[in-house]
Chain A
Amino acid sequence: MRVVVTGLGVAAPTGLGTEAYWSATLAGRRAIGRVTRFDPSSYPATLAGEIKEFRAEEHLPSRLLPQTDRMTRIALVSADQAFADAGIDPGELADYDAGVITASHSGGFEFGQNELRALWSKGSRYVSAYQSFAWFYAVNSGQISIRNGLRGPSSVLVSDQAGGLDAVAQARRQIRKGTRVIISGAVDASICPWGWVAQLTSGRLSEETDPARAYLPFDDDAGGHVPGEGGALLVVEDDEHARTRGARVYGEIAGYAATIDPRPDSGRPPSLRRAIELAIADAALDAGDVDVVFADAAAVPELDRSEAEAITDVFGSRGVPVTAPKTTTGRLYSGAAPIDLAAAFLSIRDGVIPPTVGTTLSDRYDIDLVASTPRRAAVRNALVLARGQGGFNSAMVVRAPQVID
């Protein structure tokens, strides 16, 4: 059974809404700057990809605002956009025919921060009644399900920054088991002092202060990443259901696999390559069929090397165009891979591969990086990679829509 994507809802620092994001991405416009949501002066990392123009009260009822973290608000709006884009009124779907499967990274961390502060500075009576769910990892699935009346199978996966693909893969699984529609993806937003301090301990944040030099995957000057906020929700649908209702189809979720790297001291090799090979096999394709790779692009030299090697091992020397449009937004944690999926579908639609901005490809990596400017190309099959701290590797192949005569 084919599982297709019929709706996209994107929220990125570079643009709210799919087309705003996509035109900024193709133009290579970067939205990385000094943190404005708090004063970052006292921290070694000071840059982020912030969503500037999001005003929740313009999109959501005021009843929802006191009980939601920023990431939930963005997710709710993105879900609305994805359904609208798909031409689906969720209220019209039969009971249990639709569900929601999201990934999370750190939950509603800013909400949690504020309640921890209330607890320790004022006392337990100052903790909000909404703290029992507003910060937890399941909150976006729960709130999206309630807002849209989705009673079908729902879930939440956490696999650091790889979880976005795992969620969409689980959506595909549920569609194959008989659910018609699953809204899936992830949104993260933890740009708050407490989230910042926790992220600093990853050792992977860039301490560069020049936005143009701060996130340079596959560059000799790669020195960590810039955190961002946002993500995407995708309407994943049973192909037959989509066709019956005459939906526009962006493409197909064709293949997926996930692995985890062995313990660092085990002496065993990393397992990204295996995830890529399994995902391509799952899509019933050969490596040569893949037209573009959306890289994880850690911008940590050792991780860039292992990713470039895995790509070269599978596709050969400069065997496939590789790109990392997330260089414009910073890394959006679990939201990054769903946005890359959206970008992959838009690449298929428009026949263009978006650029990796800022990077001068290091001689050490034998990959065909699409740098600086977009590249025209017929894209039928795209591979999206996502990795997470702790060794998570996920790979997903998306395919152009079938031409129906």
Chain B
Amino acid sequence: MISTVPTDEFTLAALTLILLEGAGAEEGVDLNGDIADTPFADLGYESLALLETSSRIERKYGISLDDEALVAAETPRALIELVNRQLSEASARDKV
């Protein structure tokens, strides 16, 4: 069994890129600023934008995000943590 290291940890930069591609950026919001703890709603992203974003993340990283956990992740930091938890669980499963 080959042990895989989680090479693609999910970062704010990666999230920002996906947000831009899938939902654009609200006028007056600087996604390159310190946004980790700014609620998505304040960044101009409503549930539809977040659904598109999460589905892009799921496809890119080959994971599946829980509906309710997703709704609960109200900031970039929370979403990034959620994704990384899934990624490490997935890689833990790979090692078994």
A and B: direct contact (Cβ < 8 Å)? yes
Contact with A along B58-69 (1 / 0, CB 8 A): 110000000000
Q: Enumerate chain A residues within 8 angstroms of B24, measured Cβ to Cβ.
A: 61-66
Q: Enumerate chain B residues within 8 angstroms of A61, measured Cβ to Cβ.
A: 24, 26-27
Q: Enumerate chain B residues within 8 angstroms of A125, measured Cβ to Cβ.
A: 55, 58-59
Within the assembled complex, what's the spacing in Å between the Cα atoms of A125 and B49? Answer: 16
Are A66 and B58 in contact, with the CB atoms below 8 A? no
Decide if the interface of chain B is mainly helix, strand, loop or mixed. helix
Looking at the assembled complex, report how far the CB atom of B47 sits from the nearest CB atom of chain A, in whole angstroms.
Answer: 10
> Closest residue of chain A to B50, judged by CB?
A129
Given contacts A125-B58, A125-B59, contact A63 B52 (CB under 8 A): no
Within the assembled complex, what's the spacing in Å between the Cα atoms of A63 and B23? Answer: 5
> Closest residue of chain B to A61, judged by CB?
B27
Contact with B along A288-310 (1 / 0, CB 8 A): 00000000000000000000000
Q: Enumerate chain B residues within 8 angstroms of A130, measured Cβ to Cβ.
A: 48, 52
Q: With an 8 A cutoff between CB atoms, is B22 at the interface?
A: yes
Looking at the assembled complex, report how far the CB atom of A68 sits from the nearest CB atom of chain B, in whole angstroms.
Answer: 10
> Closest residue of chain A to B23, judged by CB?
A66
Q: With an 8 A cutoff between CB atoms, is B81 at the interface?
A: no
Within the assembled complex, what's the spacing in Å between the Cα atoms of A130 and B21? Answer: 13
Task: From B21, B27, B44, B51, give the contact of A66 (CB < 8 A).
Answer: B21
Within the assembled complex, what's the spacing in Å between the Cα atoms of A67 and B48? Answer: 10
Q: With an 8 A cutoff between CB atoms, is B25 at the interface?
A: yes
Q: With an 8 A cutoff between CB atoms, is A126 at the interface?
A: yes
Looking at the assembled complex, report how far the CB atom of A91 sits from the nearest CB atom of chain B, in whole angstroms.
Answer: 16
Within the assembled complex, what's the spacing in Å between the Cα atoms of A125 and B57? Answer: 11
Q: Enumerate chain A residues within 8 angstroms of B23, measured Cβ to Cβ.
A: 63, 66-67
Q: Quick one: which of A124-146 are within 8 Å of B by CB?
A: 125-126, 128-130
> Closest residue of chain A to B22, judged by CB?
A66
Q: Enumerate chain A residues within 8 angstroms of B26, measured Cβ to Cβ.
A: 61, 63
> Closest residue of chain B to A130, judged by CB?
B52
Q: Quick one: which of A78-118 are within 8 Å of B by CB?
A: none
Q: List 7 A-B contacts (CB under 8 A).
A: A62-B20, A62-B24, A63-B23, A63-B27, A63-B44, A66-B21, A125-B59
- By a beta-carbon cutoff of 8 Å, the part of chain B in contact with chain A is 20-27, 44, 48-49, 51-52, 55, 58-59
Known: A63-B26, A128-B52, A129-B55. 18 other contacts (CB 8 A): A61-B24, A61-B27, A62-B20, A62-B24, A63-B23, A63-B27, A63-B49, A66-B21, A66-B22, A66-B23, A66-B24, A66-B52, A67-B48, A129-B48, A129-B51, A129-B52, A130-B48, A130-B52
Minimum-distance CB pairs A-B, first 4? A62-B24, A129-B52, A63-B24, A129-B51
